[in-house]
């Protein structure tokens, strides 16, 4: 183990909040207090901005009741940021680190943040400033390379699998219409694919699942919906907010782009209108949206614990002198689901995006390989019973067809 | 107690599903099996349509495991219907009742269904067919008269209060934008008002609550949002899907009307676009939609038990010969929340709509009277802690304003 310098540590959360991002923070706090090399632990408020403006909260001075209260609290307790980091920002970050004698930096984010973390590590090395930068993986999108999965994905996928089950039960009880469920995810279909776990029996929702990895021609969507609806008199479609048609366009949906990706959009609604107009079938859409990444009720315990373990592992890696790495999750090849943490170089995950491979998806569904991957991560979704069809013999002539 | 005739009983679910509609059904099944006057209990599949087509399931022949499995199962297990009942339908219903010697009819629905139940009871009386019709209240909208509240409302309101809390936590963690949350409810604002229960401290979401009982001019909405956003750099707005502007229009939202009310719509999205365009503030919208009435995770135990008790009370009322009544809930005037069931004439609730009285709402919020009413029904929403602001002294000169 390399000798590391004693100094302060900073932890920051970056990008969109997740249901378990605070678990990683709690893991960092818990582990940091065990290591004498870490003389202080500051939390940056609102991501990189907190470092730039020296806006810190002293995390080792928090009361036990505050820390206990953060257990199973979703969203980012420190605040986060989507600020696009510039070169001048990074120089300022290093100046602030020097001023506070910061020797450990834990950056909890996705692939963009891992790129920033890698740049900070390189700039520190170039100026011979001893700094251990460790990335902690976080993204509901599950699109980080070199890790079995990313903390936050299982809970968010669980939310959407349950949402599809519940809206599917509503659609079964009050049939005669099509339900479009807009699922979080721009480029990677890990979450939308996981809605397949809502099924128990044939004909259970979701009836159609589309992956944003492939363009979906409107005519194909309409043909699929029409086929399902004619058979079942109902249809639940799971589609990503980022799904594009064969022209690379969102079907004419009303999308306003912010500085990073789209903000307001109504893709599900647009598809419901198209189904209604072109197929003359009643259709509506639901868009749980950000509720899917912020709902406390759907946090999975193992996701929370894995996120917490990533925070602990990050501190251990830092005091071992392994700066420049990101913590990863490795799934053991056992029949029972088990994971361990590992480490991968930041530069190998920075800015790369892991989409769903072709072998895990079909035209309008997942493949068994997808279920083998996602099933153990998300676990079983409780299913609802149906009445046993003990029917009662009819006693009078059938009602006229007009009432069928 | 009047002497009642022994015969078969039919139960049907009507209108939109709720999270606890199956509790009332289980209550009917449980209680019916205790009374010798009820010789058989049939469940009509898909509401009144199941009666018209003699499509019944024998509810006393169901296995214990099926009935146990229905506990805390949302949505309508028998299936439901929005079929608009015609006079000819009612004649057919009576013909079917006669053919099966049905002497008890339990109709679980909202104010429209109570009107239908009342008509069936009158037609039976007019033709001297002895029939006890009992209404069981059900609607997430809470808009039935003469009952303290309606089963299904508390759980659905709980869903939306938690949704506003969770999306509010996301908005606090990643500020700089406005969140419009579209809440179920066309004409009555009982659910949207209950989102006020998401607040614990000043400045907690929701920052603005609008009641559909009053038109909301766009200029007023924009002025409210602008004021909140300038103060907090964030803003969460809770607004009903049925909110209309001062012209009685949905702000130019893209609404498609089905046979009963609107189907596809995108009001929240439309308002987000208007906020974004007119105020130049980032804005987006979330629409949990039907998930709010179908989510198993937000079923409140007392709501479930009250719904079940309404089912039991309906059977007791029927075998007591009290046909023509609806079961109601009466809140006791005790400091602890307690309710009893009562009975009110179907004709006094039929087709009437209980909107939120003026005393319970203000311009863009609820009044303390609303909280006194809804608080005990929905209970406390767990709140999330914030870090104690133990800040760290700055050590270098402030960063240039461009990064503020």
Block residue for tokens 């006393």: B60
Q: Is B108 exposed, middle or buried (0-12, 13-18, 19+ CB in 10 A)?
A: buried
Q: Is A134 helix (H, G, I), strand (E, B) or coil?
A: strand
**Is B240 a residue whose pLDDT tops 60?**
yes
Q: Is A31 helix (H, G, I), strand (E, B) or coil?
A: helix
At the topology level of CATH, where does B7-151+299-349 sit?
Rossmann fold (3.40.50)
* Interval A208-233: pLDDT, tens: 999 999 999 999 999 999 999 999 99
Q: Is A62 on the interface with B (CB under 8 A)?
A: yes
Q: Is B389 on the interface with A (CB under 8 A)?
A: yes
Q: Please give the residue of chain A at the shortest CA–CA distance from B298.
A: A297
Those of residues 95-124 in A touching chain B at CB distance below 8 A are 95-96, 99-100
Give the pLDDT confidence score for residue B22 in this predicted structure.
97
Contacts of B293 in chain A (CB under 8 A): 170
The Cα-based distances of B54 to A53, B50, B96 in angstroms read 72, 6, 7
Q: Please give the residue of chain A at the shortest CA–CA distance from B384.
A: A73
At the topology level of CATH, where does A7-151+297-349 sit?
Rossmann fold (3.40.50)
Q: What is the DSSP secondary-structure string of B305-335?
A: HHHHHHHHHHHHHHHTT-TTEEEEEEE-SSS
Give the pLDDT confidence score for residue A389 in this predicted structure.
81
Nearest to A166 among B62, B77, B296 (CB): B296
Sign, CA torsion A169/A170/A176/A179: negative
Mean of per-residue pLDDT scores for chain B: 94
The ranges assigned to domains in chain A are 7-151+297-349, 153-293+356-378
**Pick from B179, B16, B265, B178: which is nearest to A268 by CA?**
B265
* Interval A7-58: pLDDT, tens: 999 999 999 999 999 999 999 999 999 999 999 999 999 999 999 999 999 9
CATH code linked to domain B155-296+356-378: 3.40.50.460
Tell me whether the omega of the peptide bond preceding residue A206 falls within 30 degrees of 0, making it cis.
yes
Which of A57, A293, A390, A400 has the highest number of chain B CBs within 10 A, making it the mutation to test binding with B?
A390
Q: Which residues of A are marked as active site?
A: 141
Same fold, B7-151+299-349 and B155-296+356-378: yes
Are B253 and B262 within 8 A, CB to CB? no
Round to whole Å and give the CA distance between A227 and A208.
Answer: 11
Residue A363 Ramachandran class (φ > 0 left, ψ -120 to 50 alpha, else beta): alpha
Are A43 and A311 within 8 A, CB to CB? no
Those of residues 297-326 in B touching chain A at CB distance below 8 A are 297-298
Are A265 and A253 within 8 A, CB to CB? yes
- The shortest C-alpha distance from A359 to chain B (Å) reads 31
Q: Please give the residue of chain B at the shortest CA–CA distance from A265.
A: B269
Give the pLDDT confidence score for residue B390 in this predicted structure.
79
* Interval B18-68: pLDDT, tens: 999 999 999 999 999 999 999 999 999 999 999 999 999 999 999 999 999
Counting every residue written for chain B, the total comes to 404
Round to whole Å and give the CA distance between B178 and A80.
Answer: 16
* Interval B363-388: pLDDT, tens: 999 999 999 999 999 998 989 998 98
**Is A160 a residue whose pLDDT tops 50?**
yes
Those of residues 229-288 in B touching chain A at CB distance below 8 A are 254, 256, 258, 263-266, 269, 272-273, 276, 282-288
Tell me whether the omega of the peptide bond preceding residue B206 falls within 30 degrees of 0, making it cis.
yes
Question: What stretches of B87-217 show up as alpha helix (H) in DSSP?
Answer: 87-99, 111-126, 153-173, 190-194
* C-alpha atoms less than 13 angstroms from C-alpha of B38 in its C-beta half-sphere: 29
Nearest to B287 among A77, A177, A287 (CB): A287
CATH code linked to domain A153-293+356-378: 3.40.50.460
Give the pLDDT confidence score for residue A3 in this predicted structure.
74
* Interval A228-261: pLDDT, tens: 999 999 999 999 999 999 999 999 888 776 655 5
**Is A80 a residue whose pLDDT tops 90?**
yes
Q: Is B87 on the interface with A (CB under 8 A)?
A: no
Q: Please give the residue of chain A at the shortest CA–CA distance from B285.
A: A264
* Interval B265-289: pLDDT, tens: 889 999 999 999 999 999 999 999 9
Give the pLDDT confidence score for residue B84 in this predicted structure.
85
CA A29 to chain centre: 23
Contacts of A162 in chain B (CB under 8 A): 295-297
Are A153 and A329 within 8 A, CB to CB? no
Q: How many CB pairs under 8 A join A and B?
A: 289
Give the pLDDT confidence score for residue A260 in this predicted structure.
52
**Is B403 a residue whose pLDDT tops 50?**
no
Contacts of B398 in chain A (CB under 8 A): 53
């Amino acid at each position: 183990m390399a000798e590391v310098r004693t100094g302060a540590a900073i932890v920051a959360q970056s990008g969109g909040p997740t249901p378990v991002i605070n678990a990683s923070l709690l893991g960092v706090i818990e582990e940091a207090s065990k290591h004498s090399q870490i003389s202080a632990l500051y939390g940056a408020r609102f991501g990189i901005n907190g470092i730039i403006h020296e806006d810190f909260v002293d995390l080792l001075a928090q009361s036990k009741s505050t820390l206990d209260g953060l257990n199973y609290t979703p969203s980012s307790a420190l605040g986060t940021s989507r600020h696009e980091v510039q070169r001048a920002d990074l120089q300022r970050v290093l100046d602030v680190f020097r001023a506070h004698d910061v020797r450990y930096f834990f950056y909890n984010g996705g692939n963009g943040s891992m790129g920033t973390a890698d740049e900070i590590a390189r700039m520190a090395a170039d100026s011979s400033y001893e700094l251990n930068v460790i990335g902690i993986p976080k993204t509901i999108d599950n699109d980080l390379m070199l890790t079995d999965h990313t903390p936050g994905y299982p809970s968010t996928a669980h939310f959407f699998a349950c949402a599809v089950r519940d809206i599917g039960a509503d659609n079964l009880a009050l049939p005669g219409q099509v339900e479009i469920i807009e699922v979080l995810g721009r480029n990677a279909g890990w979450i939308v694919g996981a809605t397949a776990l809502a099924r128990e029996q044939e004909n259970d929702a979701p009836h159609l699942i589309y992956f944003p990895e492939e363009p979906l021609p409107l005519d194909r969507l309409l043909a699929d919906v029409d086929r399902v609806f004619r058979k079942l008199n109902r249809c639940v479609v799971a589609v990503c907010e980022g799904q594009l048609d064969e022209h690379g366009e969102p079907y004419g949906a009303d999308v306003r782009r912010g500085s990073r990706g789209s903000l307001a959009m109504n893709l599900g609604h647009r598809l419901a209108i198209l189904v209604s107009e072109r197929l003359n079938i009643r259709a509506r859409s639901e868009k749980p949206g950000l509720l899917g990444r912020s709902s406390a009720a759907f946090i999975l315990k193992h996701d929370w614990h894995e996120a917490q373990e990533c925070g602990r592992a990050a501190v251990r890696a830092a005091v071992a002198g392994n700066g420049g790495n990101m913590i990863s999750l490795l799934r053991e090849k056992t029949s029972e689901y088990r994971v361990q943490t590992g480490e991968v170089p930041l530069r190998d995950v920075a800015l790369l995006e892991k989409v769903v491979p072709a072998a895990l998806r079909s035209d309008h569904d997942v493949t068994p390989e997808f279920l083998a991957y996602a099933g153990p991560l998300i676990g079983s979704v409780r299913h609802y019973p149906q009445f046993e069809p003990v029917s009662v013999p009819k006693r009078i002539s059938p009602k006229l067809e007009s009432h069928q």
